[in-house]
Amino acid sequence: MNSLYPFAMLNPIPHEIIKFHDDLTNSNIDDLFGFFRAEIITPKNLIYPLLPYKNDGLTIHPTGKFTGTYFSEELKAVQAKGYKINLIDGYEFSKINLFNKFIDYFYNIKKNSKGAERFIAKLHLNTLYGYFGRSLNLLETIIIKNNKINEIVSKFKVKTIYNIDSEYSAVLINKDFNDDDISFIKSNVAIASAVTSYARIEMIKLKTYCLNNRIKIFYTDTDSIFIDKPLSSKIVGDDIGLLKDEMKGLVIKEAFFLGIKQYGYWFLDINNNRVENSVFAGVPRNCLTFKEIISISKGSRIIRIIKNRFFKSYNSLNITIKDTHLTISKSENKIMKNNIYIPKNFMKG
């Protein structure tokens, strides 16, 4: 999808808290805007679960009954697809069109320029919303004399101490935004969370489109989807929010999807030559052969040499560049059943 997160930022954004509702038992989500805790009941015989949920540190899309806190617009989107929403409590916000001029300005530059100018415009588009989700804790490295270490330890949360020599040490401290001598980190989790939810809503629309048009989904993640039929030309194009065909009309012959950002596939190019692509978190794109992807799917571990990685030493205060070895394997927190990956230890509600 073209610039999914910038496109999401064109929607109304939470602005100011209106009030906290401590009892929303008899309320309707359609009348509210903000973040609310709710009991969720999914439709029976749900083909594509739509709402994410954290389970033992994993993000899953469950069926059954569960409770979570969500952005109102995402709850409205899944309610329209048959989910039952029983509100509990939450924060109601006012709304504002905050980023429209910003997005329109930089997307126009990105669309009509090349090289460095396009890259900088794209960077402005893709990084803005993330700043609002920054942690309120700040890691900082300071060089101090060894006789001052006790003073630092008593004042800050010290993560690591690297001894440089008999006189100095490098200290990695975790500063809290309440500390007196640290400037407040400007963040707004409501904005970041809302933008993320709006992006997921766009993927909900795409999944629903595929379901309604009997298009099979093999894999989907943040902003992309692998399917068995072409999409309508009405939703494919160069404009923001439309989809682009990464295969340029060609068809994947075989693929393995082992987990999030863990997959490989092959296809024939216009000259009928076999082309193998892979995406595996931690290693460069297309560095794995399709044979290796199959081997990993069966439980094998593959070692790759990653060249030119940067390493810093606090003891010598040097930065070195050297090769390193990386072991590649499929995720062990899911099991495959009937060609579907299921998180371990997850029980349906």
Angle formed at CA 76 by CA 75 and CA 77, multiple of 5 degrees: 90
Q: What is the pLDDT of residue 348?
A: 46
Question: Residues 110, 119: contact at Cβ < 8 Å?
Answer: no
**Looking at residue 11, what DSSP letter applies?**
S
Among candidate residues 273, 301, 272, the one with its CA nearest the CA of residue 288:
301
Whole-prediction pTM: 0.80
Beta-carbon count within 10 A of 14 CB: 25
Q: What is the pLDDT of residue 349?
A: 40
**Looking at residue 236, what DSSP letter applies?**
B
Place of tokens 């200290």: 171
Residue 280's contacts (CB-CB under 8 Å, 6 or more residues apart) are 261, 262, 263, 264, 287, 288, 328
For residue 340, give both structure tokens.
């579907």
Q: In whole angstroms, what is the distance from residue 180 CA to residue 169 CA?
A: 23
Q: In whole angstroms, what is the distance from residue 184 CA to residue 205 CA?
A: 38
Q: Residue 63: what are its φ and ψ, rounded to 5°?
A: -115, 165
Angle formed at CA 136 by CA 142 and CA 12, multiple of 5 degrees: 145
| N-terminal to C-terminal alpha carbon distance within the chain | 33
Integer CA distances (angstroms), 248 to 134, 238, 267, in order: 37, 13, 12
Q: What is the pLDDT of residue 284?
A: 84
Question: Residues 68, 40: contact at Cβ < 8 Å?
Answer: yes
104: enclosing H helix or E strand? helix 100-111
Question: Residues 220, 203: contact at Cβ < 8 Å?
Answer: yes
For residue 150, give both structure tokens.
């006790």
Beta-carbon count within 10 A of 72 CB: 26
Question: Residues 171, 145: contact at Cβ < 8 Å?
Answer: no
Question: Residues 149, 161: contact at Cβ < 8 Å?
Answer: yes
Place of tokens 């068995």: 228
Q: Which amino acid type is present at position 271?
A: N
Q: In whole angstroms, what is the distance from residue 20 CA to residue 153 CA?
A: 39
**What does each of the 349 residues of the chain score in pLDDT, given as a tens digit?**
999 999 999 999 999 999 999 999 999 999 999 999 999 999 988 888 899 998 887 788 889 999 999 999 999 999 999 999 999 999 999 999 999 999 999 999 998 999 999 999 999 998 888 889 887 777 778 888 989 888 888 888 888 888 888 888 888 887 665 555 545 677 899 999 999 999 999 999 999 999 999 999 999 988 899 999 999 999 999 899 999 999 999 999 999 998 888 999 999 999 999 999 999 887 888 989 999 999 998 888 888 777 767 777 666 667 777 777 778 887 665 555 555 555 555 444 4
